[in-house]
Amino acid sequence: MTITNSWLKANHKKPRSKILNKTDRDGLLARVSVKGKVTYSLRYYYNDKQTRLDIGTYPLMTLKEAREEGLRLRKQLELGHNPKIVRQLERQAIIATASLKGLFELWYESYCVKNKKGHHEILRSFELHIFPRLGNLPAEKVTLHEWLDILEKLAETTPAIAERILVNAKQMLKFGTKRRLIPSNPLADIYAKEDLQVRKRSVNRSLSDEEIKMVWIALDESRITEKNKLFVKLCLIYGCRNGELRLSEKRHFDFEKNVWTIPPENHKLGKKSGKPLRRPITPEIKGFLQQAFDLSSGSKYVFTNFEKNEVMGHTAPLQIPYNIMQFLRRRKQFELPHFSMHDLRRTCRSNLSSLTTFNLAEVMLGHSRGIASVYDQHDYLEEQAEAYSAWCRRLNSLVDGEPPAAPSKNNVIRLDRWRRA
Query: How deeply is 368 buried, as exposed, middle or buried, from its count of CB atoms within 10 A (0-12, 13-18, 19+)?
Result: exposed
pLDDT at 97: 58
| Residues 6 or more apart in contact with residue 36 via CB below 8 angstroms | 11, 12, 13, 14, 15, 16
In a 3-state reduction of DSSP, which class is residue 43? Answer: strand
170 — phi, psi (to 5°)?
A: -65, -40
pLDDT at 244: 95
In a 3-state reduction of DSSP, which class is residue 226? Answer: helix
In a 3-state reduction of DSSP, which class is residue 413? Answer: coil
Measured between alpha carbons, how far is residue 279 from residues 17, 67, 198, 415, 420 in Å? 90, 67, 35, 20, 22
pLDDT at 197: 82
Q: For the domain covering 97-195, report its CATH number.
A: 1.10.150.130
Topology of domain 5-95, per CATH? Double Stranded RNA Binding Domain (3.30.160)
Query: Which sequence spans correspond to the domains of the chain?
Result: 5-95, 97-195, 209-418
Dist. CA 41–CA 227, nearest whole Å: 62
pLDDT at 406: 41
pTM recorded for the entire structure: 0.56
Largest distance between two CA atoms of the chain: 108
Judge whether 116 and 123 are in contact, CB under 8 Å.
no
- Specify the CATH superfamily of domain 209-418: Intergrase catalytic core (1.10.443.10)
pLDDT at 412: 33
Length of the chain: 421
Dist. CA 162–CA 100, nearest whole Å: 18
pLDDT at 410: 37
pLDDT at 376: 54
Dist. CA 259–CA 251, nearest whole Å: 11
First to last CA, the chain: 83
What number of other Cβ atoms are within 10 A of residue 416's Cβ?
8
pLDDT at 333: 93
Dist. CA 311–CA 246, nearest whole Å: 7
Q: What is the mean pLDDT, run by run of 10 residues, along the chain of 421 residues?
A: 92 94 94 95 93 94 95 93 88 71 92 84 91 93 94 87 93 92 92 80 80 96 94 97 95 97 91 89 95 94 87 85 90 90 95 93 84 62 96 93 46 38 38
Judge whether 55 and 70 are in contact, CB under 8 Å.
yes
pLDDT at 390: 96
